A and B are shown apart, each in its own frame.
Chain A
Amino acid sequence: MNEQEEKLLEAISDEKFTEKDAYNIRKNGQSVKRKNNPYIDIVPKEDNKGIDVYVKENTLLGIVHIPVILTESGLKDVVYNDFHIGKNSNVIILAGCGIHNDLHNDTEHDGIHRFYLEENAKVKYVEKHYGEGVGTGQKILNPVTEIYMKKGSSMTMDTSQIKGVDDTLRETKALLEEDTTLQINEKILTDKTQSAKTIFTIELNGENASTHVTSRSVATENSYQEFISNITGNSKCYAHVECDAILKESGKVKAIPEIYAKNVDANLIHEAAIGKIAGEQLMKLMSLGLREKEAEEAIIKGFLK
């Protein structure tokens, strides 16, 4: 891998690989490096269409890295990654996609990730999206995440789009059986004329299923963001959806919440707040010696941390 590719990989990886971790690195539509360990098997699908990741039952703390980088302008890479998480296992999955595009053709990565959590499995899934390059070609990312949770399982999904992605449609679907917990934390920053649309569809089917979705976003310059959530409570369950957005310049944000309780014991909450940075917040940080622009940056950095 050359220096540019290494840097791209670094931008989407918070944690370095260790000897014990399993990993699969995908570059320009091909798997270029893969490693299994005694608890985690990564099996490629036919024609480089993706991977199946098998985490054995009772794995104590498995770590899997599956970064994707695209440096070939004009490439459209569609990948299907399936994660089969065994009973009682506990695993961290670190994913991310970085695109470098210096030319005029659009580069696109569509990652379709399906998670099958067996009983009492526990997953932390971290996904970071990033784009860079001076070309006029768009950097497009359209991730689809499907989550199927069996009894007693839990999952935390931390997803962020940090910079440079021109267009994104992010779809997340989840089906929760009894005693399951799904927590989703989403952070998105858009600038220029970028567009980001995010859709969450969550079905709480089992008794005591619960979900907490937090979306924090900043839309600056002429960018546009849309947040859609559809939460259905089919049993005694709990859901809390929070959508917070900061607007700057001509940024636009639309939030469309839908919560549908089909059971008398379903408890579903949606909160949405969109607006510019509060004057009192700026004033407080200025009274601590920051210039207005520095204060604004500190507030946004904290908000998206």
Chain B
Amino acid sequence: MLEIKDICFTRDHKKILDHISLTLNEEKFYVITGPNGSGKSTLAKIIMGITKPDSGTILLNNQDITALSVDERAKLGLGFAFQQPVRFKGLTVYDLLTISVGKKIEKKEACALLSKVGLCAKEYVDREINSSLSGGELKRIEIATVIARNPKVAIFDEPEAGIDLWSFQNLTEVFKDLEKTSKGITLVISHQERILKIADEIILLEQGKIKKIGSKEEMLQMILSEPKCCMKGRE
């Protein structure tokens, strides 16, 4: 169980997150959505420890992790897929997956992980993570690095950002599979209706506050009928 208690974050006199409290449970797939600037990505980064909150606490299975660093949280079972995956000159996809798993793995294990995210494994496993990879390919590799860790809490920050519609259509299958098979908590920041439809629960953020939490049935109806919610990627 992940408990977020009374998180506040202010920058340049603007309240980015205003007293956010949430409880997330195992085997559930959550989507945080909301207009641009509502604080979604900041909240995700605070959970992972990339950004420090001004106040509030975060508990993972009753352990206070608020003061822990990113790598300490990773070791406790938190995983984070970045919105803009970073490139590494020299490191191959296999190298990165080995680091993700935390021990030397066989090439076939790395290939199995890549197949999970829809990449033709043999073509990718020895490639460098450099500018020769497209945005969609990088996104899939990024997601594979998180899945490889089998995390207790898997956070995906806007998986749809920067990739074309065709690639994203295939990527939704990865998340559908996660929803079915993951024993941990899955938390996805997304604007995409395709992702919202996978959720067990949707959390709507607006101006740094939780406006509403509910099942996808009730939330989707509300979000899609409300013109003020500037959602992207409606179908």
Interface-side segment among B23-31, B95-103, B184-192: B95-103
User: A287–B89 contact, CB under 8 A?
Assistant: no
A304 and B74 within 8 A (CB): no
**Complex CA–CA separation, A305 to B98 (angstroms):** 16
Interface SS of A by simple majority: helix
Q: How far is the CA of A42 from the CA of B92 in the complex (A)?
A: 39
Quick check: which of B11-19, B75-83, B199-207 contacts chain A, the rest being far away? B75-83
Does B79 lie within 8 Å of A216, measured CB to CB?
Answer: no
CB of B114, distance to nearest CB on chain A (Å):
16
Choice from B74, B75, B85, B91 contacting A298 with Cβ under 8 Å: B91
Contact A288 B50, beta carbon cutoff 8 Å: no
Q: How far is the CA of A292 from the CA of B72 in the complex (A)?
A: 11
**Complex formed: what's the CA distance from A305 to B193 in Å?**
43
Is the beta-carbon distance between A287 and B80 smaller than 8 angstroms? yes
A sample of 7 cross-chain residue pairs with beta-carbon separation below 8 angstroms, ordered by A number, consists of A216-B89, A216-B90, A280-B86, A283-B70, A284-B86, A287-B79, A302-B92
Taking a contact as CB atoms closer than 8 A, the residue among B50, B80, B90 that contacts A303 in the complex is: B90
Instruction: Tell me which of B70, B88, B91, B92 contacts A287 (CB under 8 A).
Output: B70
> Which of A289, A299, A302 sits near B74, CB closer than 8 Å?
A289
Given contacts A281-B86, A290-B99, 18 further A-B contacts (CB under 8 A): A244-B89, A280-B82, A280-B84, A280-B86, A283-B82, A286-B70, A286-B71, A287-B70, A287-B71, A287-B79, A287-B80, A287-B82, A288-B96, A298-B91, A302-B95, A303-B89, A304-B90, A305-B90
A302 with B91: in contact, given A286-B69, A287-B48 (CB under 8 Å)? yes
Instruction: Evaluate contact between A289 and B89: CB separation under 8 angstroms.
Output: no
Contact with A along B149-161 (1 / 0, CB 8 A): 1000000000000
With both chains docked as a complex, state the minimum distance between the C-beta of B89 and any C-beta of chain A, in angstroms.
6
Partner of B71, one of A216, A244, A278, A290: A290
Cβ distance B55 to chain A, nearest Cβ, rounded Å = 23
A228-250 residues with Cβ-Cβ distance < 8 A to B are 244
Cβ contact within 8 Å between A285 and B99: yes
List the 7 shortest-distance A-B pairs measured between CB atoms, nearest first: A302-B91, A302-B90, A303-B90, A289-B74, A286-B71, A280-B86, A286-B70
Size of the B side of the interface (Cβ < 8 Å), in residues, is 25
Q: Is A291 in the interface zone, CB < 8 Å from B? A: yes
**Given the interface contacts A283-B50, A298-B99, A302-B95, does A289 sit within 8 Å of B88 by beta carbon?**
no
Smallest CB–CB gap between A177 and chain B, Å? 30
Tell me the complex Cα distance, A299–B79, Å: 20
> Within the assembled complex, what's the spacing in Å between the Cα atoms of A305 and B96?
14
| Nearest chain B CB to A280 CB, angstrom units | 4
Which residues of A have CB within 8 Å of B86? Answer: 278, 280-281, 283-284
- State which of A285, A289, A292 has its C-beta within 8 Å of the C-beta of B75: A289
Q: Which of B50, B75, B89, B95 has the most CB of A within 10 A?
A: B89
Q: B residues within 8 A CB of A288? A: 74, 96, 99-100, 102, 145, 149
Closest to B92 in A: A302
1/0 contact string of A265-305 vs chain B (CB within 8 Å): 00000000000001011011111111110010011001111
Q: Which residues of A contact B95 (CB under 8 A)?
A: 298, 302
Partner of A286 from B74, B89, B96 at Cβ < 8 Å? B74
- The answer to whether A292 touches B91 (Cβ under 8 A) is no
> Given the known A-B contacts A287-B70, A289-B74, A291-B71, are A302 and B80 also in contact in the complex, defined by CB atoms under 8 Å?
no
* A287 close to B90 (CB less than 8 A): no
List residues 159-196 of chain A with CB under 8 A from any CB of chain B: none
